[in-house]
Copies of this chain bind each other. A is one copy, B any other.
Amino acid sequence: MLRSWLEDANAPDGDFPLNNLPYGVFSRDGEMPRCGTAIGGYVADLAALERAGLIEAPGFDQPKLNAFMAQGKAVWANIRAQLMDLFVENGNPALRDDADLRAKVLISQTAVRMHLPFEVAGYTDFYAGRHHAENVGTMFRGPENALPPNWLSIPIGYNGRASTVVVSGTPVRRPLGQIKPPEADFPIFSPTKRLDIELEFGAVLGQGTQMGEPLTVAEADELIFGYVLLNDWSARDIQAWEYQPLGPFQAKAFATSISPWVVTKAALEPFRLPSPSRVRPLLPYLRELAPMRYDVHLEVHMRAAGQDGDNMISRTNTCELYYSAAQQLAHHAIGGCKMEVGDLLGSGTISGPDKGSRGSLLEITWGGKEPLLLEGGVERRFIEDGDTLTLTGWAQGPDYRIGFGVCEGTILPAPSLRPEWCDG
């Protein structure tokens, strides 16, 4: 652990030691949102540090990280080094020894509201968790067709809806839509009855590409600024009826939540893992010449409506992913698709091999057949109104963590039905 003069940053189980320095956007009541970093239990106001002349000025006095990210990896490295120097024990004393400035710069995380940290240019969701693909495939298409024939060759992905990517804490309204009950010939119009989460790891692009100019995997990795926790909320009944032949659409479009702090690739460097062994050789454009995955512990917690305490309902690890974000990005750009600063790439749902490590309720309750038993005897098959779902995650070092904070959302009831939507 890099020790800081700010004692609060030195807790071995804290999410935000000096090694981390993630980026986010925050405000207090009545203030303009601006960029900050998390250190211990504080947000450090990067716009204030910029104004004080203590770090270079890459434009932190803005409500989005995009302008900073767009400046590229030399600036990312430079600002990280300057921040480390300001906060490390025996470093630059300019902040440490200036009580007035410290009071301006360091704000308790409990006093701020976090905003969506970047403008989401495009949101793409992948499908790189093998256990998840096998579980869902078994339920939707039967065990003999569980893993689609292309799964071992392609980092399968689809375009998601960028406009409804929201920051942790934003309430999520239960969607209305078309559902075809198994026994019915025709669909009905109804709020979803099978509302679910998907536990994912999201890569954030800090650099883009030109249209028509594909990448190698190594070049793709260079475009990635950092990672967030991502919950790809899903309406399973709407999905089952709509997804053939063109993929998920309204089943996923109502909301995608992300954690407010973008953990940088730099902070995660010590936690890289080599590629998994390949069942089938990959085409050369997808081959990794260096470790591209990460060892990040992940948990899902559920607080049922009216409950006080959380129930941990799953724990797993990003190492369950068969394809890295760099591979997914190389595939994304291989046909010439233009990638942009602020693009968000969801990993796909991350499930481990056993029931306690599955990343969706669909898998945990096996399509609702094996209900979850929560504290106090509460049962859940899928998410009910008022339930709160929380993702957490961290990379575990020898005496410190690189934490992601939380990615949380509470479900609101579906919109009231309007007469125009009803028969008669």
Assuming the contacts A159-B160, A283-B178, asked whether A254 and B189 have C-beta atoms less than 8 A apart, the reply is no
Copies of this chain, tallied across the complex: 2
Q: Let me know if A247 and B250 touch, CB within 8 A.
A: no
Assuming the contacts A243-B245, A283-B178, asked whether A216 and B153 have C-beta atoms less than 8 A apart, the reply is no
Q: Let me know if B415 and A161 touch, CB within 8 A.
A: no
Q: How far is the CA of A209 from the CA of B249 in the complex (A)?
A: 17
Docked complex: A153-179 residues within 8 A CB-CB of B: 153-154, 156-164, 166, 173, 175-178
Assuming the contacts A177-B335, A284-B423, A335-B254, asked whether A245 and B247 have C-beta atoms less than 8 A apart, the reply is yes
Determine whether A181 belongs to the interface, using a CB cutoff of 8 Å to chain B: no
Q: Let me know if B331 and A250 touch, CB within 8 A.
A: yes
Q: Let me know if B247 and A246 touch, CB within 8 A.
A: yes
Q: Let me know if A338 and B163 touch, CB within 8 A.
A: yes
Q: Let me know if B415 and A176 touch, CB within 8 A.
A: no
Chain B residues near A150 (CB, 8 Å)?
Answer: 178, 180, 187, 241-242, 244
Chain B residues near A415 (CB, 8 Å)?
Answer: 212-214, 336
User: Chain B nearest CB: distance from A77 CB in Å?
Assistant: 25
The proximity string for A residues 299-343 relative to B, scoring 1 for CB distances below 8 Å and 0 otherwise, is 000000000000000000000000000000001101111111000
Q: Let me know if B157 and A159 touch, CB within 8 A.
A: no
Determine whether A238 belongs to the interface, using a CB cutoff of 8 Å to chain B: yes
Partner of A248, one of B189, B246, B339, B412: B246
User: Chain B nearest CB: distance from A90 CB in Å?
Assistant: 44
Q: Let me know if A163 and B122 touch, CB within 8 A.
A: yes
Chain B residues near A177 (CB, 8 Å)?
Answer: 334-335
Q: Let me know if A336 and B175 touch, CB within 8 A.
A: yes
Docked complex: A206-247 residues within 8 A CB-CB of B: 211-214, 216-218, 235, 238, 241-247
Q: Let me know if B238 and A163 touch, CB within 8 A.
A: no
Q: How far is the CA of A175 from the CA of B334 in the complex (A)?
A: 8
Q: Let me know if B335 and A189 touch, CB within 8 A.
A: no
Partner of A418, one of B178, B216, B254, B420: B216
Residues of A at under 8 Å CB distance from B? 121-122, 127, 137, 140-141, 148, 150, 153-154, 156-164, 166, 173, 175-178, 180, 186-189, 211-214, 216-218, 235, 238, 241-251, 253-255, 280, 283-285, 331-332, 334-340, 412, 415, 418, 420-423
